[in-house]
Amino acid sequence: MALTQDELLAEFESMTLIQLSEFVKAFEEKFDVTAAAAVAVAAPGAPGAPVEAEEEKDEFDVILTGAGDKKIQVIKVVRELTSLGLKEAKDLVDGAPKPVLEKVAKDAAEKAAESLKGAGASVEVK
């Protein structure tokens, strides 16, 4: 019995972030693909987009570029912002530069960046 796209999306909505992350890893291993490659492939098309699209941007990414001296404080802030577990948040901080939040509103991105900077991290908002 095949599930429709809407049924699959409903299932994904009911999953926790950790369950969804584990699913993505299993999917990548099973089909020998990576989710990051899809994002990287989409990026080169951006130069052909009109300059106006940049001005109208309403979704921003908060990228952790470095943990700084207070790594534990940064991990705590990452956990608050993302609801990740301790290990996942530590791995994200250790693996910097990594996105902490993706496709969020401008005020949410700025607030998250300020929280991370207050904890001693270096952050970019794109």
**Has residue 23 got a pLDDT over 70?**
yes
Is the CB of residue 75 less than 8 Å from the CB of residue 115? Answer: no
**Has residue 51 got a pLDDT over 80?**
no
Least confident of 1-5, 91-95, 106-110, 115-119: 1-5
Model pTM score: 0.52
List the one residue out of 36, 31, 29, 26 whose CA is nearest residue 97.
36
Mean model confidence pLDDT for the chain: 79
Q: How many CB atoms sit inside 10 A of residue 54's CB?
A: 9
**Has residue 39 got a pLDDT over 70?**
no
pLDDT bin (cut points 50, 70, 90) of residue 41 is: very low
Q: At what angle do helices 106-118 and 71-82 cross, to 10 degrees?
A: 160
